[in-house]
Structures are given as C-alpha cells and as structure tokens.
Amino acid sequence: MELLQQTLQQIQAVDQDMMVKARERVDALSKPPQSLGKLESLAVQLSGITGELFPNIDQKAMIVMAGDHGVYEEGVTNNPQNVTVFQTLSFPKGLTGVCAIAKITNAKVVTVDVGVKEDLPTDAGVLIKKVKYGTDNMAKGPAMTREEAIRSIEVGIEVATEQVKNGINLLGTGEMGIGNTTPSAAILSVIHNCDPLKVTGFGAGVGAGGIEYKAEVIRKAIALNKPNPQDPIDILAKVGGLEIGGMAGVILAAAANRVPVVIDGYISTIAALIAYKLEPNVKEYIIPSHMSEEPGAKIAAQLLDIEPMLQMNMRLGEGSGAALAFPILDAACSMMKNMATLEESMLLLSK
C-alpha cells in the first residue's frame, strides 16, 4: 500500500505551458490549420506529458500482464484455461500477435506473471511477480483480497518504473488471461451502474451458454460481493483480475514518471478506468490506441472521455492495438521535429 500511495502522490498534471508552446508551433507549421488532425493533438499531448517541445519516444516497451481467472469454472469461455500459460511462455519467444506488431518499431515486449494459475519456468524470460495462482471464482466470493488487489497494482508500478529507469520513454499496456473479458465487464458494470448484458461481449470465445449466460454470471458475482462503486480497489478485489490491476499500476507509474502510456482495447481501458478512479490526473498521460470490438469498449472510453485513434475491428488483446499505434506517435514526433514552420521555410528559401 505504501508504494501505491507514494506513486499516487507523485502524479501531477501535464505541463500546460509546454502544451501551449507546442500548439503554437503546430499551428505555425507549413500546412492549413488542423490539416494533420489527430497527429497534431497527439504531438501537443506528448509535449505536455514530457515537458519537451520535441518529445523523444525512441525507447518503447509493451508490458504484458498475465493472470488466470477463477470465474473460468463457470463456463464463461470456450477456450482452454491452459492457453494462458501457453501464450505467456510464447511472448518471450516473439511468437504472438503483439510481438509481431511490436517489431515494427523495435519495441521490447516485457512479459509479467502476476497471477498465472501454474508455476512457470524461471528461465523462460517471464518476470515472475505472482500475487496468487489466479483469482478466486467471483461467482462464489471475492476474486481476491483487498491486499492482493493492491499488490497486483504495485506489481505494475514496480515493473513500469524499472523500465523507465532503464531508459524506456514510451509504455504500452497488454494482457493475457483466458476469461478476462468477464471481470472487465463486471468492473464496468459496477462503475457505470448498468446491467452486465449491456457491456458483455463475445470475448475470445464465449462459452456454451452464450453472452446472456456470461452476463448472468457477472450479475450473480456483483450481487454476491457488493463491490463499492466509489472504491476502485474494492471493485478490483471483488470482481476484477490480477492482470487488470497490473495494467492499472503500469498506467499509474507512467503518469508518476511523466511517460506517455498507450493503452490497448477493452481490458486495458478497464484498467485505465481503475487507475483514473484512483488518480484523475492519469487521464492526461493515457493515449488510447484502438476501439475494440467488445461492446463495453466504447462505453469505457466514453467514461474516460478519450477517443481511440484507430478502428481496426480488432479484439485480440495482448497489447496488439497499442503496439500498432506506436508508429503513429513516431509520426507525431517527426512532424514536430522535421516539419518547418512557414517562417522557417521562408528564411531557408531566402538564403
């Protein structure tokens, strides 16, 4: 709890003065006003986050949090639970979707076991930060204790902070956990105060009972555990996931270290909601990548008042959409650094 509190206290608003300077430069570039659209607002946001007129984001890392879910026992997905282990071990080998996409910008992929159900080999290239062997079944009781929820957040803080200390200047959030759209929908149902069916989707493969059954399991879990809508840690503990807590920690650490963080789709956005509920200033450090195909993704983005930049019909997870957005951020930085203002162009041409 001490690390979490220290991190929350370090989070400040972005540099508004630098954002004004960045906007002035963007508006002065050799182009019609707003003609580069979201690229312009991204450049201004990056300047505000970093405090630099010409931001540098050349050292990128995707942090993939892996954890299992006890609610799997309820048949909410048709995927075997051991896929979590299989895929978690595949990340360090560069064999997954996010790894293939991350290679485009030479981003490293950091894999973290925050709650996989099985013990992983210590030499597999996965950071072992296991809080517990998967969450408990939230349909029968709390997914975890409050202390475990806090610890999952602190794992994310520790890993992200270490990456920043080692020179990383752009972070992305990703996850691996069979069944994790179920706790994501549960968290969103509590925060949005809506029926779970409104925010429950197919996921990576819905179980035999279909989406309505999946929503009913979530209804049951919420009624049983009664998470406090005003307490994000209570929500996370009672109906959440360890990897969701881990990603929330990554987002908090990014903000505390004034580093931009690109979030992936539905599950990453739910983690961002948890982080935002803990400290609203984190929103200014978040860069949303793509709009997931999950029905709750749009609602979660609206609650955060963020607009994902890509519409790619993706729902893989892993951080794949976040990694896909990295080159766009490179383009925004290149615009600031390499594109001349009208005044600069005139001076150069007059020589």
Which residues are bridge partners to 175 per DSSP? 65
Q: Which CATH class is domain 14-54+336-350?
A: mainly alpha
The first and second tokens of residue 154, run together, are 């602190």
Q: E strands of the chain, at which residues?
A: 60-67, 108-115, 127-128, 170-176, 261-263, 286-288
CATH number of 60-328: 3.40.50.10210
**Mean pLDDT of the chain, nearest integer:** 96
Domain map (residue ranges) of the chain: 14-54+336-350, 60-328
pLDDT in tens, 262-295: 999 999 999 999 999 999 999 999 999 999 989 9
pLDDT digits (tens, 9 = 90+) for 177-202: 999 999 999 999 999 999 999 999 87
**pLDDT for the residue numbered 345:** 82
Contact 222, 229 (CB under 8 A): no
Average pLDDT over residues 6-24: 98
Average pLDDT over residues 209-231: 96
DSSP 150: H
Can 318 be counted among the known catalytic residues?
A: yes
* Contact yes or no for 160/249 (Cβ under 8 A): yes
Catalytic residue among 148, 158, 284, 318: 318
Strands across the sheet with 170-176, in order?
Answer: 127-128, 108-115, 60-67, 170-176, 261-263, 286-288
